[in-house]
Amino acid sequence: MFRYYLRLGVLSIKANPALSALMVAAIGVGIGACMTIVTIHYIMSGNPIPEKSDQLHHVRVDSWDPNEAYDEPNEPPEQLTYLDATALYEAGRATRQVISFRSSRVVEPAGEDTKPFQRDTRATTTEFFAMFNVPFRYGAAWDRSADAGNERVVVINESLNEQLFGGQDSVGKMLTLTGESYRIVGVLDYWAPVPMFYDLNNNEYGDPASIFLPFSVAIAGEHDSSGNTNCWKPIPDGGIEAFRNSECVWIQMWAELNSEAERQSYLQFLDAYVEQQKMVGRFPRPLNNRIDDVAAWMDYNEVVDEDVGVLLGLAILFLVVCLLNTIGLLLAKVMRRAKDMSLRRALGASKAALFAQNIVEASIIGLAGGLLGVLMTWLGLRGIENLFSTFEFITKLVQMDWVMIIAAVVLAILSALAAAIYPTWRACNVTPATQLRIQ
């Protein structure tokens, strides 16, 4: 019977083209407005590393001012001091641990034709790549000996490799960064997690660094941090060494912990570390250490702007208004077809059969509305992209993937079905005798 109902639905739509077009338009516009905002919300709140987001934990220890919390109500600082980051890293108590900070270097191409240019770098430790599932096109990460031995090696991203080497395998080639020569050991495949969860302190919708180099090399080379640095005490005189020994926080740390037992054990380790530091006069605040998985860390950093939530609510309300209009239009259509429904009842159609027939027709309208909604969503996203074109990150937020396209169509069909329930119920409950009695 489904094919029969499908055919009847198409015939009915053809018989009432204006009403049907209005319904498709109402659903399409509602879905378009709603899905435009939903898409942005979806990208902003998406899980950037679903396969292990519950295993990766951002590490915080409360080394802050005893008189005032880093952030209300009682949040520890988001980054670590150099002293704490290196000590916790060297302790190696997690399955994997990574410390890193953001910096920049001047890339000096070998030929004379290309001018030097500046690129973001990330000074980190070798397990960064394995921990965050970073894909490689050529080569691999540097090994632990490079971390320990201050080897000047780098991993570059595919964009820089394309720019400098035309996309060829550049592993083993040399790259000059701010006057120093580095050997390329790996070239990344395309990798741009949204949001850039591993560094939410420095532009969560920015691009990952173009160049990754060993943390130890950056420290030895006195690379300045270009990320956020926060201090609660004045930095004592004494240059870079004094800064590194200060209570300024500027290094991010992540630990991979694969079970609740590992998490508890790691927290105990952090507490023990802080207790030990208290004995040498540091960590004046009460114990307040945190490990947050990716979702919790994104939530804490309010990756999804509150305004987007408000917009989402308004968009859903708009969809509801469109659906109310659709209900009205469907009712009008049902009233027109009351005689047809009555006749079918007289000829043996049960209420369930009529219900199915009307629901299939509503689904066709919903499908058409959904396809229109996808187009409207695409137009909406392009509109937002043009409106906020001065923000580089906006292109990342206005991408429609298959999930959202399918979601738009499914939402449209479900919306149409929801809108059809009352009119269909009315259609099924017409009194056949009244409609068929034309004397």
Partner 1 sequence: MLQMNNVSKTYRTDTVETHALREFSLTVAEGEFVSVTGPSGSGKTTFLNIAGLLEDLTGGTYELDGRDISKLNDNQRSKVRNEKIGFIFQSFNLIPELNIFDNVDVPLRYRGFKAAERKKRIEDSLEMVGLASRLEHMPAQLSGGQQQRVAIARALAGEPRFLLADEPTGNLDTNMADSVLDLLAEINSTGTTIIMVTHEMTLATRARRNIFVRDGSVSDGPRNSHLAAVAS
Q: Which range touches partner 1 (CB under 8 A), out of 11-19, 86-94, 136-144, 201-209?
A: 11-19
Q: How far is the CB of 434 from partner 1 (least distance, A)?
A: 9
Looking at the chain, the number of H-run helices and the number of E-run strands are 16, 10
> Which CB atom, from 12 or from 79, has the smaller least distance to partner 1?
12
Q: How far is the CB of 425 from partner 1 (least distance, A)?
A: 13
Interface pattern 14-43 for partner 1 (x via CB under 8 A): xx----------------------------
Site membership for partner 1, residue 335 (CB under 8 A): no
Q: How far is the CB of 431 from partner 1 (least distance, A)?
A: 7
Q: Which range touches partner 1 (CB under 8 A), out of 9-17, 134-142, 190-198, 416-424?
A: 9-17
For residue 160, the cross-strand partners are: none
The continuous run of DSSP H or E covering 180 comes out as: strand 180-188
> Which CB atom, from 263 or from 337, has the smaller least distance to partner 1?
337
Q: Which of 350, 386, 389, 395 binds partner 1 (CB under 8 A)?
A: 350
Instruction: Decide: 293 and 7 in contact? Cβ < 8 Å.
Output: no
What is the C-alpha separation between 205 and 392, in angstroms, rounded? 9
What phi and psi, each to the nearest 5 degrees, are found at residue 340? -60, -45
Site membership for partner 1, residue 371 (CB under 8 A): no
Q: How far is the CB of 372 from partner 1 (least distance, A)?
A: 24
Q: Which of 9, 12, 103, 198 binds partner 1 (CB under 8 A)?
A: 12
Site membership for partner 1, residue 349 (CB under 8 A): yes
Q: How far is the CB of 326 from partner 1 (least distance, A)?
A: 22
Site membership for partner 1, residue 4 (CB under 8 A): yes
The continuous run of DSSP H or E covering 121 comes out as: strand 117-124
> Which CB atom, from 371 or from 421, has the smaller least distance to partner 1?
421
Q: Which of 1, 240, 324, 414 binds partner 1 (CB under 8 A)?
A: 1
Q: How far is the CB of 12 from partner 1 (least distance, A)?
A: 7
Residue numbers 101-160 binding partner 1 by CB under 8 A = none
Q: Which of 344, 360, 369, 408 binds partner 1 (CB under 8 A)?
A: 344
For residue 54, the cross-strand partners are: none
The continuous run of DSSP H or E covering 155 comes out as: strand 153-156
The continuous run of DSSP H or E covering 183 comes out as: strand 180-188
Site membership for partner 1, residue 347 (CB under 8 A): yes
Residue numbers 392-431 binding partner 1 by CB under 8 A = 431
Q: Which range touches partner 1 (CB under 8 A), out of 6-14, 57-65, 229-237, 377-385?
A: 6-14
All residues at 6 or more sequence positions from 75 whose CB lies less than 8 Å from its CB, including other chains: 69, 290, 300
What phi and psi, each to the nearest 5 degrees, are found at residue 346? -65, -30
What is the C-alpha separation between 411 and 100, in angstroms, rounded? 42
Q: Is the dihedral of CA 185, 84, 78, 51 positive or negative?
A: positive
For residue 103, the cross-strand partners are: 121
Identity of residue 277: Q
> Which CB atom, from 12 or from 377, has the smaller least distance to partner 1?
12
All residues at 6 or more sequence positions from 50 whose CB lies less than 8 Å from its CB, including other chains: none
Residue 183 has a CB neighbour count (10 Å cut-off) of: 15
Q: Which of 91, 148, 314, 433 binds partner 1 (CB under 8 A)?
A: 433
Residue linked to tokens 């956020």:
228
Instruction: Decide: 287 and 274 in contact? Cβ < 8 Å.
Output: yes
Q: Which of 314, 335, 346, 406 binds partner 1 (CB under 8 A)?
A: 346
> Which CB atom, from 118 or from 431, has the smaller least distance to partner 1?
431
* b/e 43-57 (16+ beta carbons within 10 angstroms → b): bbebebbeeebbbbb
Contact footprint for partner 1 (CB under 8 A): 1, 4, 11-12, 14-15, 339-340, 343-353, 431-433, 436-439
